[in-house]
Chains A and B, each alone.
Chain A
Amino acid sequence: MTFLIDANVIVYAAVPSRYREACLEALEAVAEGRADGRVSTAILEEIWHIERSGRAGTIDGLARRAYRLFTPLLPVSDEIVARALELDAPRLGGNDRIHVATALVNDIGTILSADADFEQVRALRRVDPLNDIERSRLLQR
């Protein structure tokens, strides 16, 4: 099953927290080709901003390594922007709308994310990295 991987999963794989091992497990599954997790240009841009800000500590090189792991990235196209603008999710921010639309336009029905805001969108299923059962299911092709 193809799924979208949110920026927080990649950042949490790089910083000490209760999420770290679960997020690293997801990245390892993608690296080995056991799981079909995808990242978009918008998600990679977020990781880069977080890295460059320095406010999530020293995570130098994270965006470059994430790129190497996830290329080819899903593009954010005109169609995706149009879909994001029409999305019926009043409390969802612009960035998250783009991610939801990226998933929907690419027929992706699941996002791996620590952000519960995605649960506002009926068409998309959020899997929390800490949910061992759902994460394990997701990481099996």
Chain B
Amino acid sequence: MLTERLQVLMSRTQRRRVEAEARRRGMSVGALIREAVDARAQTVPVAQRRSAVDAIRALAGGRYLAPSALERLVDAERETPLRGLQRRPRR
């Protein structure tokens, strides 16, 4: 529910940009600004973010791979389902 009113000062250029973008996307300026806030502002409380980092710090079973090896690994993982599909017999 939209119950809060906020007055925002911006430059003429910024106003033109936000109006042009809203027009291009077929939405109101207000809706565009609300969408930008949702896309930008952190939604998880600091305590939960700290707890996520603590949990990462506590991980003990990992193994170091060089950046190039990590990239190859990602590529291979992406291709795994595709290779699986190729092996499927044609109907």
B59 is an interface residue with CB less than 8 A from chain A: yes
Stretch at the interface among B2-10, B12-20, B63-71, B82-90: B63-71
- A68 touching B62, Cβ below 8 Å: no
CA distance A1 to B61 in the complex (A): 33
CA distance A39 to B59 in the complex (A): 21
- A15 touching B63, Cβ below 8 Å: yes
Q: Known: A12-B64, A71-B44. Is A49-B78 also a contact (CB below 8 A)?
A: yes
A79-120 contacts to B (CB < 8 Å)? 93, 95-96, 113-117
A44-65 contacts to B (CB < 8 Å)? 46, 49-50, 52-53, 55-62, 65
- B61 touching A71, Cβ below 8 Å: no
Give the dominant DSSP class at B's interface.
helix
Q: Known: A15-B63, A49-B78, A68-B49. Is A56-B73 also a contact (CB below 8 A)?
A: yes
Chain B residues contacting A95 (CB-CB under 8 Å) are: 71, 74-75
What residues make up the interface of B, taking CB atoms closer than 8 Å to A? 38-44, 46, 48-50, 52-53, 55-57, 59, 61-65, 67-68, 70-71, 73-78
What residues make up the interface of A, taking CB atoms closer than 8 Å to B? 7-8, 10-17, 19, 24, 27-28, 30-33, 46, 49-50, 52-53, 55-62, 65-66, 68-69, 71-72, 75, 93, 95-96, 113-117
Q: Choose among B44, B62, B70 the residue that contacts A16 (Cβ–Cβ < 8 A).
A: B62
CB distance from A17 to the nearest CB of B (A): 4
Identify the closest chain B residue to A69 (Cβ): B52
CA distance A12 to B57 in the complex (A): 10
- B73 touching A53, Cβ below 8 Å: yes
- A62 touching B59, Cβ below 8 Å: yes
Chain A residues contacting B49 (CB-CB under 8 Å) are: 30-32, 68-69
